[in-house]
Structure 1
Amino acid sequence: MVKLRRHLLFSLAVSGLRGPARALPCVGFATLVAYRLLVTGRGFAMPRRTVSGPEDEQIRNLTARALRERLRALGLPRSGPRKALRLRLAGAEHRVEASFLSKRRRQRVWWAKEQLRWNMTNRDGYVRPPPSLGRGSQNPLCELGECGDAACALYRFRAGCEGVRSDFMNFCAKQIEDHFWQVQTHNDEGLVYCSLGCGCLYFDWELLDQLVTRARLPIDQVWLVDPAFWRNETFSTAELKALRAFGQWFAGVFDVHSFRTARSLKRWCRAFSGQFGLAHVVMECDSVQTHTLTDDADFCRSVLHDEALGLQIFSQRLANRRPGPGRRRGPVPVAPVRCVRRRKEDRLETMQRDQWTSGAWLPDFLVNFPEDEEDPADWIAEDLRRRYR
């Protein structure tokens, strides 16, 4: 197949030289098409065309001193070489640049999932997709992964919790779809999605792919926050490899930005909120309850949209740590808990909280209810008043 494409390129070039002058534009167009077929068939991508505007030209011509002065005015770091300063001032310092995947490789992934050949296995401490899709085809998403700790209640293969992750993913897709169409009545911007503690990104990939392909939601920005997203020229962490695979899959669909800390995300959002917008959805799919991040008033004002939706699942509570010398011990394990929260002023208010019990999600006020005290109907009425007041 490759030899055939090379022969086609050579034939088009020779015919262009021998043919009349008026045939040159057609030959050039055919050559471009043939070249695109060649590179996409091999799994490569055409180089992305960068559109440079007047502002980009101004940034490119600024001296290092002028760049630092502008960065200081925006509250951004001022250290680093001139190239890094230009990227930082343009808001592209955290952007994940990746080449496009060919349509054929995408179709093989979708086919494997539809045909139930998407066998998840525990490799290198993570639950990952299969490394191969058959017939010598490497899986472009084999570096993605999720929690592989057998002691975690969110572990995919844990007895009694096999359906937790898939059920929560479908639950989130429905919540986000309903919320977005409600919010879009007030503006025409696309969805901005933020994920905290995303690890090797398998959950976020599965959710966003469903929102793009099935729900057809317009997504503009995806912000990913994890301490493991640190760059080193000689060593790549598992999370960085997953980030590259994630970026390749969604290249050309929406922009992906990665951050090591919530502090860097807040600083970036404050500097470029008018350019990139604010997050409509904040996802916290982690084993540990991370409400301390999103309950921060500064985080809500800097990162979240006025009508932001918060979704979370966890299996360990930080709030239940014991006081005293042992307070730094590990979080207290609990059954899987999912939460739905909405922004109210400078905090996220809990609208729904359920716990996984006996293979189903039950409201937290019905779990471990003492039979010899109040009637459950009173608890339900009080919870409804609390949610919808």
Structure 2
Amino acid sequence: MDRLGQTDTHTIFRDSVRRFFASELDLDAWEQERLTPRSFWKAAGEAGLLCPTVPEAYGGPGLDFSYNAIVTEELTYAGSTSSLPLQSDIIADYFVHLGTEEQKRKYLPGMVDGSLISAIAMTEPVAGSDLQSIRTKAVRDGNDYIISGAKTYISSGQLADFIIVAAKTDPDAGAKGVSLLIVDADCAGFSRGRKLDKIGQHSADTSELFFDEVRVPADAMIGGEGRGFAAIMTLMPQERLSQAIMGQASMQRAMDDTITFTKDRQAFGQSVFDFQNTQFVLADIATSLQVGWSHLDWAINRHVAGKLTAVEASAAKLWHTETQWTALDRCLQLHGGAGYMEEYPIARMWRDARVQRIYGGTSEILKLVIGRSLKG
């Protein structure tokens, strides 16, 4: 399929990414271990798959987001829920756009070569999408901040070498009281809790994190005091676009697998594919895929040009993840009883897809964002 804005260079890069995942992914083992091992992160870094947009001055290739999109598409299509896109598509940009020179030189090269695994800690037991309600505090003490609080549902929490932590530096200032601080995993008072037992995405570890009066220097703040919420909102469009990409690639894989399965499966003397109902269902999904790829390419190119708005990115995540869920559920149904068996990829893809409508902004929050924009 020809892709809008894709060049021969993109095609060559995609081929190399696809070959890497075909040879290096060990999905069954990682699902059992409930995490993606460090060895894979290191291999991905050596292959040039991590943080494509990081400038050459900090060890990266200095490419645009269209290359991130290729990695995220191919990783998802291969069936992996590894947190590579979290590091490449989300966290790296906090340093590129908001970090000090010292922070960039300390963290970005390791993020690019895979020797450093990052996490970002926003969600708390009592605060999800509403970041103004977080209770984790960072109190100034001379040239340091002392962080106290707990975070939950943190991707890469078990292996992270450092974490960007959202904390209240001014509890009375609402959104303007939220700041972001970098906590290295070897800081005294930092500890990891449970590796949480999720419904899906088992190879992407998700954890509880605890901060018991963790002392970090003032220069560990990223983006400036009280500017954490604004930073998160500024960088949110790329995060939501990344999740839209995952939704689209997952739907394509489910469709391809379902066509193969229904052609091979026999019922009442003919293939399941030959039933009119099967073809009607697949026709609906094929139509969604055609629309989805066109829209996704539009959004990626618009983002690369610096024009994708927060509302447009919210709409992209909403449509692609909701459509993903509907399509995967219908694909599983066409697998019959086999779709309920873990040995079939559709079962794993189906349960992995459920969280797509929750993290990065629930579908309900996205509708609020879009709805409010219509007031004019």
| Same fold, judged at TM 0.5 (above) | no
Q: Provide TM-score, normalisation by structure 2.
A: 0.24
Q: Compute the TM-score of the two structures, normalised by the length of structure 1.
A: 0.24
Point out the structure with the larger helix share: 2
Flag the structure with larger Rg: 1
Q: Of Structure 1 and Structure 2, which has the larger fraction of its residues in strand?
A: 1
